[in-house]
Amino acid sequence: MQYFITGGAGFIGSNMADRLLKDGHKVTVYDKFVTGHREFLEEALKSSDFTLIEGDCADEDKMAEAMKGSDMVFHFAANADVRRGLEHPMKDLEQNTNNTFHVLEAMRKAGVGRIGFSSTGSVYGEAEVIPTPENAPFPVQTSLYGASKLAGEGLIAAYCEGYGFTGYIFRFVSILGERYPHGHVYDFCKALGRDPENLHILGDGHQKKSYLYVGDCINAILTVVDKCSDKVNIYNLGTDEYCEVNDSASWIASELGVSPKFTYSGGNKGWIGDNPFIYLDTKKIRSLGWIPELTIEQAVRRTVRYIQKNPWLLEDGK
Amino acid sequence: MQYFITGGAGFIGSNMADRLLKDGHKVTVYDKFVTGHREFLEEALKSSDFTLIEGDCADEDKMAEAMKGSDMVFHFAANADVRRGLEHPMKDLEQNTNNTFHVLEAMRKAGVGRIGFSSTGSVYGEAEVIPTPENAPFPVQTSLYGASKLAGEGLIAAYCEGYGFTGYIFRFVSILGERYPHGHVYDFCKALGRDPENLHILGDGHQKKSYLYVGDCINAILTVVDKCSDKVNIYNLGTDEYCEVNDSASWIASELGVSPKFTYSGGNKGWIGDNPFIYLDTKKIRSLGWIPELTIEQAVRRTVRYIQKNPWLLEDGK
């Protein structure tokens, strides 16, 4: 099979590229290298089944040309800077909503009809039902990021109904693991590198968070794509557990071999639009036989070890 | 109070403008007159409390300047050409999603923090629960129109959370009444004008539809704005009844005094993405004391009489 991955030089995209190549498929990565890293594609670039194209998802014609002959598109390119949405509200709209539209239009032009999409548990807003199932009560959006991804989901579903596409929509909790480029594990490692004695935590530290290891995430996506063929296939991806930011901070400190004093900014949210608790019901994906191999603690510790081995990532500033 | 109405030269917008002026408020209408009609503002233009500005919702700066001093925005400008979404998929994205973003940004610039928005029952897709309440199970989109309006809802809710806006989101069934400019009553009147002996109906005629009279719609909106002050207020607007397209066709023929033979294109959908049955649960809006004054049959017959008195609308082609 031939796969086309937007954002394929990013965290999840590059892990997917490596996995698909390992499974014997052909892969084209399309990335504009604003947050993507060539270093993440080091292995992939050695393969004759791999093609790298530098381009912007806003450029429909270039994308359509590049994806000709592909059997499926994984659309992972996105603005994942969830926290700073309110500083530049147009970024989420352009990069997450409008670029999803451009990817769908490029697919129509290129005659490709299968799409996998990285959505987010943030689309549930402040969920009424926890753990939150895929068919939870119609949510009210609380962040520009969630709203922009929900809009992407809606476009994909409408293309499935209107143009006969098949859509795979994955609502992720936060993903951890190799090539993890931002978020609290990254921030805490960086802060503890500067000052191993103190760690300042946004919120009160009791925010509950659910995480999933990137390898488990890739397994889950490929399980759904392999086993499901509904018009629109929507799956939560997460583990059956959660942790508090305090737990995670302790594991990170322990893995780094430091014992910082924790201080807190206070309040039950890290930032405006931060959900105090995202915890997804994963019965639907588990019913397909998938189970995560790593616990949250194992995923956090593995991420810390990866960051320790790749200190350039902390300096990168992308 | 001073109100700013995008799409204020359109069907619902111009009815709202007249009503607000009648209630003693100041009104600015902002419209680009692509589907709007100057004729709809004949009465409003006689009032010294009324200002008309011709402009595009994509022009944030012009809008921001025009809305300065307003207490509230009604954002009704939209692409309402639900049926032909698949012929020009970008139109819904640009006019319903991106222009909602531009309206919100203009409001931030102008310091206006209250917005009323015309969404649609189409956001429920093929609803699992009928009649469909506001907190129905998380729906899957089936039309570009529904998807684009849902994206608009999401943006508004995120602005309420992130920037302290107050949002009023109304999920309409189809609206009928004075100045009704398109849709099946319009189409049937036009077709029967050409050939009073025959009427060709898309689908099998058994598609169930719910309608609401525009005057009742305006009353409902103003009731919610008056009585509710949550961060995000979401209300279905519809009647507690529905009809089949066959019923409606019969009322139209009866009101026109003709007896056509009905023929059918077949199938349970008028067009791809058409919902076979949109029927909204209106308990929430009724709990505020609002009730519709007209039945669906009365609304259909009143619409036919309006079209008969304004034959220019049928020639208009907008």
DSSP characters for B270-299?
SSTT--SB--B--HHHHTTT---SS-HHHH
Tell if the CB–CB gap between B154 and A141 is shorter than 8 Å: yes
Q: What tokens appear for B116 in the block?
A: 């009323």
Which residue from B minimizes the CA distance to A132? B138
For chain B, first and last CA: distance in Å? 32
Tell if the CB–CB gap between B161 and A272 is shorter than 8 Å: yes
| pLDDT value for A315 | 80
Q: How many CB atoms lie within 10 A of CB A305?
A: 13
Let me know: does A73 contact A114? Beta carbons within 8 Å.
yes
Beta bridge partners of B211: B174
Task: Please pick, among B145, B159, B168, B306, the residue that the annotation labels catalytic.
Answer: B145
Q: Which residue has the tokens 């009503």?
A: B19
- What does the alpha-carbon distance between residue A91 and residue A279 come to, in Å, rounded to a whole number? 26
Phi/psi of residue A224, each to 5°? -65, -45
Q: Which residue has the tokens 């790749």?
A: A310
| pLDDT value for B271 | 62
Smallest Cα distance from B54 to chain A, Å: 25
Let me know: does A219 contact A290? Beta carbons within 8 Å.
yes
pTM of the model: 0.95
For every residue of B246-274, DSSP letters joined together read HHHHHHHHHHHT--PEEEE--SS-SSTT-
Which residue from A minimizes the CA distance to B137? A137
Q: Which of A147, A155, A272 sits opposite B157 (nearest CB)?
A: A147
Q: What tokens appear for A75 in the block?
A: 């659309």
| pLDDT value for B279 | 93
Q: Which of A137, A232, A234 sits opposite B135 (nearest CB)?
A: A137
Tell me the HSE value of B148 on the side-chain side, using a 13 A CA sphere.
28
- What does the alpha-carbon distance between residue A223 and residue A288 come to, in Å, rounded to a whole number? 7
Tell if the CB–CB gap between A154 and B153 is shorter than 8 Å: no
B137 vs A contacts (CB less than 8 Å): 135-138
Tell if the CB–CB gap between A147 and B146 is shorter than 8 Å: no
Which residue from A minimizes the CA distance to B100? A93
| pLDDT value for B318 | 63
Let me know: does B53 contact B59? Beta carbons within 8 Å.
no
Smallest Cα distance from A115 to chain B, Å: 16
A143 vs B contacts (CB less than 8 Å): 158, 161-162
Tell if the CB–CB gap between A158 and B139 is shorter than 8 Å: no
Q: Which of A86, A138, A153 sits opposite B162 (nearest CB)?
A: A86
B138 vs A contacts (CB less than 8 Å): 124, 134-139
Sequence letter at residue A179: R
Strand pairing of A243-244 and A208-209? antiparallel
Let me know: does A12 contact A3? Beta carbons within 8 Å.
no
- Helix, strand, or coil (residue B199): strand
Sequence letter at residue A283: K
- The residues, any chain, with a CB within 8 Å of residue A250's CB and separated by 6 or more, are none
A102 vs B contacts (CB less than 8 Å): none
Tell if the CB–CB gap between B147 and A157 is shorter than 8 Å: yes
Strand pairing of B208-209 and B243-244? antiparallel
Residue B116: closest CA among B212, B7, B278: B7
Angle at Cα B180 formed by Cα B33 and Cα B6, nearest 5°? 40
Tell me how many residue pairs between chain A and chain B have CB atoms under 8 A apart.
128
pLDDT tens, chain A, 318 aa long: 999 999 999 999 999 999 999 999 999 999 999 999 999 999 999 999 999 999 999 999 999 999 999 999 999 999 987 777 788 999 999 999 999 999 999 999 999 999 999 999 999 999 999 999 999 999 999 999 999 999 999 999 999 999 999 999 999 999 999 999 888 899 999 999 999 999 999 889 988 889 999 999 999 999 999 999 999 999 999 999 999 999 999 999 999 999 999 999 988 776 665 666 789 999 999 999 999 999 999 999 999 999 999 988 888 666
| pLDDT value for B274 | 62
Phi/psi of residue A228, each to 5°? -115, 140
Smallest Cα distance from B94 to chain A, Å: 9
Divide the 318 residues of chain B into consecutive groups of 10 and give the mean pLDDT of each group.
98 98 98 95 98 98 98 96 84 97 98 98 93 97 96 98 97 95 89 95 89 98 98 97 94 96 85 71 98 97 96 78
Q: How many CB atoms lie within 10 A of CB A181?
A: 18
Which residue from A minimizes the CA distance to B165? A142
- The residues, any chain, with a CB within 8 Å of residue A298's CB and separated by 6 or more, are A213
Beta bridge partners of A237: A172
B147 vs A contacts (CB less than 8 Å): 151, 154-155, 157-158
Phi/psi of residue B57, each to 5°? -65, -15
Kindly report whether the peptide bond that precedes residue A292 is cis, defined as omega within 30 degrees of 0. Answer: no
B272 vs A contacts (CB less than 8 Å): 161-162
Best A123, A124, A150 member to test B by mutation, with max B CBs in 10 Å, is A150
Beta bridge partners of B171: B119, B236
Q: Which of A104, A105, A142 sits opposite B161 (nearest CB)?
A: A142
Sequence letter at residue A6: T
| pLDDT value for A273 | 54
Best B88, B123, B128, B138 member to test A by mutation, with max A CBs in 10 Å, is B138
- What does the alpha-carbon distance between residue B224 and residue A296 come to, in Å, rounded to a whole number? 45
Residue B73: closest CA among B120, B5, B144, B147: B5
* Domain B177-209+241-280+294-316 class in CATH: alpha beta
Domain limits of chain B?
A: 2-175+211-237, 177-209+241-280+294-316
Tell if the CB–CB gap between B232 and A140 is shorter than 8 Å: yes
- What does the alpha-carbon distance between residue B31 and residue B34 come to, in Å, rounded to a whole number? 8
Second-level CATH architecture of A177-209+241-316:
Alpha-Beta Complex (3.90)
Residue B176: closest CA among B31, B20, B307, B44: B307
- What does the alpha-carbon distance between residue B249 and residue B254 come to, in Å, rounded to a whole number? 9
Is A145 in the active site? yes
A147 vs B contacts (CB less than 8 Å): 151, 154-155, 157-158
Let me know: does A104 contact A115? Beta carbons within 8 Å.
yes
B150 vs A contacts (CB less than 8 Å): 150-151, 154
- What does the alpha-carbon distance between residue A86 and residue A275 come to, in Å, rounded to a whole number? 15
Sequence letter at residue A13: G
Tell if the CB–CB gap between B138 and A138 is shorter than 8 Å: yes
| pLDDT value for B268 | 74
Strand pairing of A72-75 and A2-6? parallel
The CATH number of the domain covering residues in A2-175+211-237: 3.40.50.720
- Helix, strand, or coil (residue A234): strand
| pLDDT value for A275 | 60
- What does the alpha-carbon distance between residue A44 and residue A28 come to, in Å, rounded to a whole number? 10
- What does the alpha-carbon distance between residue A259 and residue A265 come to, in Å, rounded to a whole number? 19
